[in-house]
With several copies, the nearest count.
Chain A
């Protein structure tokens, strides 16, 4: 085993840093990044943190009723890219985004565009669970409340319950809905954040490693949820588990040091990657 790891370590070292110097220009993406009738359409997206470029001209589409998974080594820019899709990067000081990102044909970085309805349509589950310092109930009810999705308390109660149920958290918290969301365990917080997001039924859901703190059973529930949601919505999910990517997604995108290296049918990516980097990453699979 040690030799394998050492080899990998060497190769990642090369991947992670050695190529940094020459990767200052964006590379060609292997595979067809576009889909017909895309829900979201990104073209030549670049993201800068100060004067550090984190995403190098990525073009990628998210189709209707599809689950797109994004994989890639830690720090390659998956979260950064994901956060572009609902303009969450606006909140980071010194973060600039260029290129074109469209939702249903509408430019989301348009000055005239209001990010509020955009974010209501494009929901997000963050990598680090961030429950509000409120009760569990209030955490979930918050979104529906501000958007006025329910007409009365009963409906809201029902919505909170279904959301928590779908996230597989209901049974654990049903008798302490008034307890603070911050007093939950790591995995519980993660599921709470998922419940919070689906409670507003966004059309596109961005999930940044939604199952990272979950046990296999809870993971299964979330994956089941994703599968169910796909019927109506589009979902982009960042994951480090290639099995998970294989299980839930139709298309997979492989990121590397800020570049989108390859994108294609999930099956094809995992069985027959085209790019050497993709292959290296996939075959070094451990998870």
Chain B
């Protein structure tokens, strides 16, 4: 060993070089670390921002204005024969009863136009609610009951302060005389905001005060459940096959590129495909969770396949060798050893894929999901809409009352999302490990 080299030259010590640059390197390190922290903080800030924005706009929708009026429930009008049969009671003219109650409370209103305005104080859905109330408690018949009647959306907006009472009358939807009535009712304590159960139990409606999220929620539930059921096993199965078993050649390269490319296909094109294939060829009924789930499955598959493949790639080969070495079959190796290690990544794919599917509207446009469907779906083949579509439709509705309901619907969607993710996130945490 005759050659003198930096490695054996004690006069040029490493530590000097290290120390010379250490400050710079440490500064870099700190910068990098701060950048990372800032990135996370920024991300979290965005979430917080969006959440506060949504909650600030939407929380009022969980309350709904009601008007308390003494309602005369004459037996002669409701159940003249005293049969007590629900059918008879249901057929009574509750609209008339409510109108009479309004007239009785505001006897000074006589002009035909004014009366019309007065009647519009309560929702068109109020008679039905009154009917349900009477049906639930037939003892009310023959009495004069103080009943909380559902207020019209305009009244609701005034009470919630979304319509400025100080504006000139011409710029307000709620005219002066209606304002006067509201103020009188308020001073009598006959107007109150109560928890908005309708929002959670009803399907959609053109009247904001009657509009509920139940239909879309059920639609989303059926759609997403089926999507998950289809896309996760298919995605993971395809990923395992392609990553671990398929011969590595031009064909599989093509498939890989192809799957990556599918991810870049605009989601509406999947709608076109669904329209042509599922509805056109296979005759799957339009506007149903079934066809939506099929389309969304195709849409989320690339996400799940790509992330699953990345997860499989990052499992060290030595684990596979170890399993094969004791005589496990390739499939056993996959399912017993590789899959548990790759599962966190696969679940991540599922989480963001499903999140995307939950929030997607464009492909549903083509398969008839942008629809007005009042009834809450009870299965995979009932006509249905989903939450994002409902949000889209409400956001596009002229009525002011839908603004807060849109935000509230978004809150419901987010709650749905969080619940859906929670299971996956917990599962993922169980399987995460470093080696």
Contact = CB atoms under 8 A, between A and B. Distances in A.
Interface of A: 86, 88, 91, 93, 114-117, 119-121, 123-124, 126, 128, 130-133, 142-143, 146-150, 155, 158-159, 162-163, 166, 182, 193, 196-203, 228-229, 232
A143 B20 CA distance: 15
A126 B6 contact: no
A117 B321 contact: no
B18 A120 contact: yes
Interface residues of B, number: 39
Given A162-B3, A166-B7, A182-B435, A117 B327 contact: yes
B6 A148 contact: no
A201 B7 contact: yes
A159 B6 contact: yes
Contact of B325 (A93, A121, A123, A147): A123
B8 A201 contact: yes
Given A149-B6, A158-B5, A117 B22 contact: yes
Contacts of B10: 232
Contacts of B336: 142, 146
Contacts of B373: none
Contacts of B330: 116
7 contacts: A116-B328, A121-B14, A123-B326, A130-B318, A131-B322, A146-B326, A146-B332
B26 A116 contact: yes
A117 B332 CA distance: 13
Contacts, number: 126
Interface in B283-318: 317-318
Given A132-B319, A133-B435, A148-B17, A120 B7 contact: no
Interface of B: 1, 3, 5-8, 10, 13-15, 17-22, 25-26, 248, 317-330, 332, 336-337, 341, 433, 435
Contacts of B18: 116-117, 120-121, 147
Nearest to A139: B322
Given A115-B324, A149-B6, A162-B3, 12 more contacts: A88-B324, A119-B324, A120-B15, A123-B325, A123-B327, A126-B325, A130-B319, A133-B435, A142-B326, A149-B14, A201-B14, A203-B13
Contact of A198 (B7, B17, B435): B7
Nearest to A121: B15
